Amino acid sequence: MSEETEKPTPETTEKSVAKQEEVIELPALEKGLSEKLTSKFGEKTSIAFVKENRVRVDVKKEDVHDVAEFIRDEMNFDHVESVTGVDFPDDKEIEVVYHIGSYTDNSLANQVLTLATRAPREDIPIPGKDGTRLPTLRDIFYSVEFHEREVFEMLGVYFDGHPDNRRLLLPEDWADLPPLRKDFAIKGR
């Protein structure tokens, strides 16, 4: 669970976007992205890592909406590629990770900004009616619609404000635990 360990942002070097340099020197573009976020939100965001083409930001669930809006409006990211829910039963939290990319800005084409937030986890989940809730990002990134529906059914994270919080992949009469939680065990394993 490396997401918890905050790395201080490393040193800056100049780098062209299309070609990569030596791996040790962290590229400037990614560093610029992370600095843009920290300068705007300060303590609210924590940069988990800055790697080549990948920047990861951890935020609290109260701030995720504002940060996402800033990412879309000021940083030219325009679509969410993937929304992943990761269950951490030891921390009593469920992490939801948005991988955000950009089609419009050519310099950001190879970048994936990872926005992670955490929702409280309940041991006996009642999907949609318990405290495992997050604000939806659908009004910011339209493309999260089906991804968030999938996270809701697979991990029981209810997205407040999502217009269509229905089951997507699972059958309508699924009454067991949300299957991607760690305490849902596969038979025989």
Partner 1 sequence: MTAELPPGLALQKVDERIMTLNVGPQHPGSGHMRIVVQIDGDYIVACDPDPGYVHRGEEKMAEYRNYITNIPHLERPVIHDSCNVLYPYVLGAEEILGIEVPERAKYVRVIASELNRCIYTQYWLAIYGIFLGHSTMFMWPAGDRELLIDLMEKMSGARVTHAHFVPGGVRNDLPANFEDACLRQVNYFEKRIKEYAAVFYDNPILISRTKDTGVLSKQDAIRLGTTGSVLRASGVDYDLRIKEPYDVYEELDVHTNVMKEGDSYARSKVPWLDMMESCNIIRQALQKMPKSGSVRTKLKPNPKTKGPETVYKRVESGRGSLGCYIVSDGKTEPYRVKMSVGSFRNLIALPYLLKGEKLGNMPSVYWSLNYWPVEADR
User: Which residues contribute to the site for partner 1 (CB under 8 A)?
Assistant: 1-3, 53-54, 56, 78-82, 84, 86-87, 97, 99, 103-104, 109-110, 112, 114, 127-128, 141-147, 150, 158, 164-172, 179-180, 184, 186, 189
In the complex, minimum distance from the CB of residue 114 to partner 1, in angstroms, rounded to a whole number: 7
Minimum distance of partner 1 from residue 122's CB (angstroms): 16
Burial classification of residue 8, based on how many CB atoms lie within 10 Å of its CB (0-12 exposed, 13-18 middle, 19 or more buried): exposed
In this complex, which beta carbon is closest to partner 1, that of residue 40 or of residue 54?
54
Residue 47 or 97 having the CB closest to partner 1: 97
Closest distance of CB 130 from partner 1, Å: 12
Query: Are 98 and 144 in contact, with CB atoms under 8 Å apart?
Result: yes
Q: Which is nearer to partner 1, 40 or 167 (CB)?
A: 167
- CA 8/CA 29 separation, integer angstroms: 16
The CB-of-82 to partner 1 minimum distance in angstroms stands at 3
CA–CA dist 116, 54 (Å, integer): 13
**HEC readout, 119-140:** EECCCCCCCCCCCCEEECCCCC
Tell me the backbone φ, ψ of residue 105, rounded to 5 degrees: -90, 115
